[in-house]
Amino acid sequence: MSGEPGEKVTVNQKNDDGLWYYAITAEGKQGPKVGPFDTEEAALAAGEDRLAKGESA
């Protein structure tokens, strides 16, 4: 995973739909949740890909 130091991808599953979402946290601020994805792995991969391309929240 690349991007600026301190940037990270977090994934969460919503209880009401059972689907996965990712958010990029940069400079201590969490960006919007993006999704839905069918699996945790798919959400994480999409978030890491976006971060690697230099696209944060």
Q: What is the DSSP string of 6-31?
A: T-EEEEEE-TTT--EEEEEEETTEE-
Asked, for residue 45, whether it belongs to a domain, the answer is: yes
The number of folded domains in the chain is 1
Asked, for residue 2, whether it belongs to a domain, the answer is: no
Token readout for 28 is 């201590």
pLDDT at 19: 97
What Cα–Cα distance (Å) separates residue 7 from each residue in 11, 21, 33, 44?
14, 17, 15, 14
pLDDT at 56: 62
Q: Model's pTM, two decimal places?
A: 0.82
Asked, for residue 3, whether it belongs to a domain, the answer is: no
> Digits of tens for pLDDT over the chain (57 positions)?
455 678 999 999 988 889 999 999 998 999 999 999 999 999 999 999 999 998 765
Asked, for residue 57, whether it belongs to a domain, the answer is: no
For 36, the enclosing helix (H) or strand (E) is strand 34-37
Asked, for residue 32, whether it belongs to a domain, the answer is: yes
Domain that holds residue 48: 8-52
